[in-house]
Amino acid sequence: MTDPFYEPYDREDVAYGEEPSASLSAYLDQVGGGGKALDLGAGAGRDSIALALAGYHVLSVDLSNRGLERVLQRAVRAGVRDRVETHEIDVRDVELPADSFDVIVATTVLDHISPEDSAVLWRRMTEALTANGMLYVQVHTIEDPGSDQPPGVFSEAPVSETAGAVVNYFSPNQLAMMACDPSSRLRVLRYEERLEWDYTHGPEHLHGKAVLLAVRMGAFPAWYGEPAAFPRR
């Protein structure tokens, strides 16, 4: 199978850039780290490296061999090679024992697999979180101009060069409802549906996104929001 992300990850100016996802980064800055983290669909590793720098031992999982090579290159450069492991595997086949990861990140990968597979993976992810575990998820929504449903399908905004890999655009509130379902055993710290312009790869283009930051129900980390509201100095 050819890798649709090979070329975006092969560029010197690698796709998705160096900056980690904003809410994940805000959480790591405030709450800190340590323990085991899993980055599902890690790509070239912007979130994996932020997790390793925060002190986590990170397993970065992706189908793109070129992406995982870039993860390791970046880990060496950031001085965290000893805390980053990569595995070229389908996210649907990743072992997720109960109570095994302190952080699970899935930045735009639940939307790269079918709705049925996404639901199964979601359940396995939520079961794999530890008692103090944190979950960060981002998905494309039907607001995205690559979507086959309105409003995105009617948008004239430019579409991402990698939109062909997205097969499962999320509906309004869908990710929030998954997080609030009692069976997920999560407490939502932050949820947002938004538009965003992406300048990190190919011609500039628009995205519709849903973004979730949640912790295991019963966990109360020192989270002051994004941006942080009156944190203690």
The CB-side HSE value for 185 (13 A sphere, CA atoms) comes to: 16
Which of 23, 25, 64, 184 is close enough to bind ligand SAM by CB under 6 A?
A: 64
Does 129 interact with ligand SAM (rule: CB under 6 A)?
Answer: no
Q: Which phi and psi angles does 231 have, rounded to 5°?
A: -70, 155
212 binds ligand SAM (CB under 6 A): no
Q: What are phi and psi of 6, to 5 degrees?
A: -55, -55
Residue 16 interacting with ligand SAM (CB under 6 A): yes
113 lies in the binding site for ligand SAM (CB under 6 A): yes
Q: Interacting stretch for ligand SAM, rule CB under 6 A, among 60-68, 76-84, 96-104, 215-223?
A: 60-68
Site string for ligand SAM, 85-104 (x = CB under 6 A): -----xxx------------
Q: Residue 55 — left, alpha, or beta (φ > 0 → left; ψ -120 to 50 → alpha)?
A: left
179: contact with ligand SAM by CB under 6 A: no
Of all residues in the chain, what percent are helix, strand and coil, respectively (each to 5)?
Answer: 35, 25, 40
Options 22-30, 108-116, 182-190, 208-216: segment touching ligand SAM (CB under 6 A):
108-116
Site string for ligand SAM, 18-57 (x = CB under 6 A): -----------------------xxx--x-----------
Minimum separation from the CB atom of position 159 to ligand SAM (A) = 13
**179 exposure class (CB count in 10 Å sphere: 0-12, 13-18, 19+):** buried
Options 25, 60, 86, 108; binder of ligand SAM; rule CB under 6 A: 108
Adjacency order of strands within the sheet including 84-88: 84-88, 56-62, 35-40, 101-107, 129-140, 205-216, 186-198
Q: How far is 151 from 70, CA to CA, in rounded Å? A: 35
Under the rule (CB under 6 A), what is the footprint of ligand SAM?
5, 16, 41-43, 46, 62-64, 67, 90-92, 107-109, 112-113
